[in-house]
């Protein structure tokens, strides 16, 4: 998703300097006009606004800290925007470190898929100072048209976690319906067609539901990544005294999928994991 964001920024006429741990994966972007920074620090030094999108909280700490990290390249007036789904507390800690450099940080996770990004329909939620948000808004709108300021640092990440838990919960419920129909004698293709044209067909179900018929060769969002988000949600639930029963059950199903060797598959593989339990081949 990060590479596709770079393409959109370049198409909008912005000058982009980028970094990735594996430079070979950035060759297409370099050919498209992106410049290369040898370290995250070099990128932050070259840019007025620096973006990062990494796997988890540990990766955020790794890319921001140390002599070659993003924080080392920030100075007064610069803005750092992290688009990862990480611990809200870790996000606020990095924001405080950025403020110590005279810079400002925004957390700006996205809602949508690779498809919605390519179609220009991605939505972005943003946490941080209003002044920094207003300054970064035109750049964010080049990535996705719907950009919403939700409050202070860490609150956009909280909103993203609250959003993402529903993705897996909906996928599990959809899979239950598919398998119940299938074992009753209805062809899976027919069941999927009916469900995708029924009242339960949310945008997520519409674009990921067909995966129960044919999984993508490359996961859009794999089991491990989705479980990371559910664990963040469950942690927030404990801290805030909000019971999350369907999230907890879905998390256990993701663990089952991992136990079946399906960790690298798109989380829509929940249907296969549940199907194996139901005796459906």
Q: What pLDDT, on the 0 to 100 scale, is given for residue 119?
A: 67
pTM for the structure as a whole = 0.87
Residue 117, token pair as written in the block: 């990004």
**Over residues 157-171, mean pLDDT:** 95
- Give CA–CA dist 280/179, Å, rounded: 8
Residue 7, token pair as written in the block: 């393409």
Report all structural domains of the chain as residue ranges with CATH numbers, in order of start. 2-152 (3.40.50.720), 158-277 (1.10.1040.10)
Report H helices in 71-222. 88-100, 114-118, 130-143, 155-183, 188-196, 203-208
Per-residue pLDDT of 91-139, as tens digits, reads 999 999 999 999 999 999 998 766 666 666 788 999 999 999 999 999 9
Residue 78 contacts residue 46 (beta carbons within 8 Å) = no
Residue 69 contacts residue 43 (beta carbons within 8 Å) = no
**Over residues 243-272, mean pLDDT:** 97
Evaluate if residue 178 carries a pLDDT over 90: yes
Per-residue pLDDT of 219-247, as tens digits, reads 989 999 999 999 999 999 999 999 999 99
Q: What pLDDT, on the 0 to 100 scale, is given for residue 2?
A: 80
Please give the C-alpha separations between residue 181 and each of 106, 253, 267, in angstroms, as whole numbers. Answer: 45, 20, 21
Report H helices in the chain. 2-11, 27-32, 40-46, 57-64, 88-100, 114-118, 130-143, 155-183, 188-196, 203-208, 223-240, 245-259, 270-277
CB count within 10 Å of CB 108 equals 28
**Over residues 177-181, mean pLDDT:** 97
């Amino acid at each position: 998703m990060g590479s596709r964001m770079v393409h959109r920024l370049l198409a909008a006429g912005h000058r982009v300097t980028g970094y990735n741990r594996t430079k070979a994966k950035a060759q297409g972007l370099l050919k498209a006009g992106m410049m290369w920074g040898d370290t995250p620090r070099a990128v932050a030094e070259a840019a007025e606004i620096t973006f990062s999108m990494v796997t988890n909280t540990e990766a955020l700490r790794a890319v921001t800290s140390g002599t070659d990290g993003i924080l080392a390249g920030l100075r007064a007036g610069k803005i750092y925007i992290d688009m990862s789904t990480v611990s809200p507390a870790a996000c606020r800690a990095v924001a405080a470190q950025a403020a110590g450099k005279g810079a400002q940080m925004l957390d700006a996770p996205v809602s949508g898929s690779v498809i919605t990004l390519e179609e220009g329909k991605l939505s972005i939620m943003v946490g941080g100072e209003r002044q920094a948000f207003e300054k970064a808004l035109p750049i964010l709108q080049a990535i996705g048209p719907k950009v919403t300021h939700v409050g202070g640092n860490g609150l956009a990440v909280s909103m993203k976690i609250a959003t993402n838990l529903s993705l897996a919960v909906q996928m599990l419920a959809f899979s239950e319906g598919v398998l119940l129909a299938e074992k009753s004698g209805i062809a899976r293709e027919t069941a999927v067609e009916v469900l995708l044209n029924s009242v339960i067909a949310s945008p997520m179900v519409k674009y990921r539901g067909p995966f129960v018929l044919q999984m993508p060769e490359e996961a859009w969002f794999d089991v491990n990544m989705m479980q990371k988000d559910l664990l963040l949600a469950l942690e927030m639930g404990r801290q805030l005294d909000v019971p999350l029963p369907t999230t907890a059950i879905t998390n256990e199903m993701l663990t089952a999928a991992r136990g079946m060797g399906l960790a690298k598959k798109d989380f829509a593989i929940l249907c296969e994991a549940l199907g194996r339990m139901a005796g459906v081949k």
